[in-house]
């Protein structure tokens, strides 16, 4: 089967979003309103793959830097997005067509940032297999700390003690619609002091995204005597609640504010999800792990899954031509 590759343009807006809504390996981050909040920072080069009957079969959220196409660098994850009915043979043909198209258009490499499989609606490791066939270079591997909420996970004694301290201090847990106090009083000062960094999303950007995705982006704060002392911003998808930002003031070890907060989220707010994802504890492009942060996450019962990053030479599309026998 022959496939036609088209670069995304505004005329594809509805078709793209409808495909994301019914894909087997997508989250709300792939909707155009999320991808385009920072369009000034990236040269969008997302692709749509149509079959010979002009049915949309796959999409690739992406941006271009010189002669490399990246799984969109403004997103936590990416990769080839597929519908429920697409079988492995079709994926082989689709990837062959995409790589050949890129190669013929002077794109020498494709950098894939895979979607962790806890976010899949149904099995979707086709690109993991094809990365092997294509002699892809594994350039990074991150470890995510994830709780399977459908198992009998247990909190450690240190986390239980922190939760008790929070209760004894009379801490208050609230979901808020406004992110201002968390951003300005907790998150921005902490990142500046500890890491000389800023949040990936500015306050204006996260408020904009909240307005577009009110059910997916949620803010939970902890207060002591009416003053904010901790919070987390959660990105909620169909199966996963992910703490995108976690931060607290200097009293966290005394008050147990973060333990208190995450106990409420894990035990009550998101108890009916399949997974709670604390995200990575990696530094240095996956080469190192923040031991203290990992210890804290695993104290809630979180265990490790991985996210793979591959670099594929587009000229290797020929390696897919003799896979099927």
In which band, very low, low, confident or very high, does the pLDDT at 38 lie, cut at 50, 70 and 90?
confident
In which band, very low, low, confident or very high, does the pLDDT at 144 lie, cut at 50, 70 and 90?
very high
φ/ψ of residue 309, rounded to 5: -125, 125
**Under 8 Å between Cβ of 81 and 59:** yes
Tokens of 86: 């697409």
Q: What is the pTM of this model?
A: 0.94
Q: Which helix (H) or strand (E) holds 85?
A: none
Q: E strands along the chain, which residues?
A: 4-7, 47-50, 56-60, 62-65, 68-71, 81-82, 109-113, 137-148, 172-176, 217-224, 227-236, 240-248, 275-280, 282-283, 288-289, 303-313
The predicted pLDDT at position 1 comes to: 65
Question: What whole-number percentage of the chain has pLDDT above 90?
Answer: 96
The predicted pLDDT at position 256 comes to: 97
Q: What are the CB-based long-range contacts (under 8 Å, 24+) for 81-84?
A: 81/19, 81/20, 81/23, 81/25, 81/26, 81/30, 82/23, 82/24, 82/25, 82/57, 82/58, 82/124, 82/126, 83/19, 83/22, 83/23, 83/24, 83/57, 83/58, 84/22, 84/23, 84/24, 84/121, 84/122
Mean pLDDT of the chain: 96
Q: 96 in helix, strand or coil?
A: helix
pLDDT digits (tens, 9 = 90+) for 95-129: 999 999 999 999 999 999 999 999 999 999 999 99
The predicted pLDDT at position 39 comes to: 84
pLDDT digits (tens, 9 = 90+) for 272-325: 999 999 999 999 989 999 999 999 999 999 999 999 999 999 999 999 999 999
Domains identified in the chain and CATH numbers: 4-141+308-320 (3.40.630.30), 151-273 (3.40.630.30)
How many Cα neighbours within 13 Å face the side chain of 187?
22
The predicted pLDDT at position 172 comes to: 98
pLDDT digits (tens, 9 = 90+) for 155-204: 999 999 999 999 999 999 999 999 999 999 999 999 998 878 899 999 99
The predicted pLDDT at position 117 comes to: 96
Distance of CA 172 to the CA centre of its chain: 29
The predicted pLDDT at position 128 comes to: 97
């Amino acid at each position: 089967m022959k496939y036609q590759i088209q670069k995304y343009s505004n005329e594809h807006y509805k078709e793209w979003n409808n495909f994301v809504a019914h894909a087997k390996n997508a989250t709300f981050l792939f909707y155009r309103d999320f991808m385009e909040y920072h369009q000034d920072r990236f040269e969008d080069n997302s692709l749509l793959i149509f079959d010979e009957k002009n049915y949309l079969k796959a999409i690739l959220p992406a941006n271009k830097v010189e002669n490399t196409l990246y799984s969109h660098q403004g997103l936590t994850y990416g990769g080839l997005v597929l519908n429920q009915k697409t079988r492995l043979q079709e994926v082989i043909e689709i990837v062959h067509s995409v790589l050949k198209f890129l190669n013929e258009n002077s794109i020498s490499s494709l950098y894939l940032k895979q979607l962790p499989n806890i976010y899949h609606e149904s099995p979707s490791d086709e690109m993991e297999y094809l990365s092997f066939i294509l002699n892809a270079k594994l350039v990074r591997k991150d470890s995510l700390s994830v709780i399977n909420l459908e198992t009998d996970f247990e909190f450690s004694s240190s986390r239980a003690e922190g939760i008790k301290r929070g209760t004894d201090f009379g801490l208050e847990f609230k979901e808020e619609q406004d992110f201002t106090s968390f951003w300005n009083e907790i998150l921005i000062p902490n990142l500046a002091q500890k890491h000389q960094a800023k949040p990936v999303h500015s306050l204006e950007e996260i408020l904009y995204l909240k307005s577009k995705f009110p059910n997916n982006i949620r803010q939970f704060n902890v207060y002591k005597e009416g003053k904010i002392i901790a919070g987390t911003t959660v990105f909620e998808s169909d199966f996963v609640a992910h703490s995108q930002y976690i931060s607290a003031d200097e009293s966290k070890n005394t008050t147990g504010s973060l333990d208190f907060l995450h106990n409420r989220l894990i035990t009550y707010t998101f108890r009916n999800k399949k997974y709670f994802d604390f995200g990575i504890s990696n530094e240095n492009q996956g080469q190192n792990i923040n031991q203290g942060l990992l210890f804290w996450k695993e104290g809630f019962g979180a265990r490790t899954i991985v996210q793979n990053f591959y670099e594929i030479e587009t000229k290797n599309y020929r390696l897919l031509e003799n896979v099927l026998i």
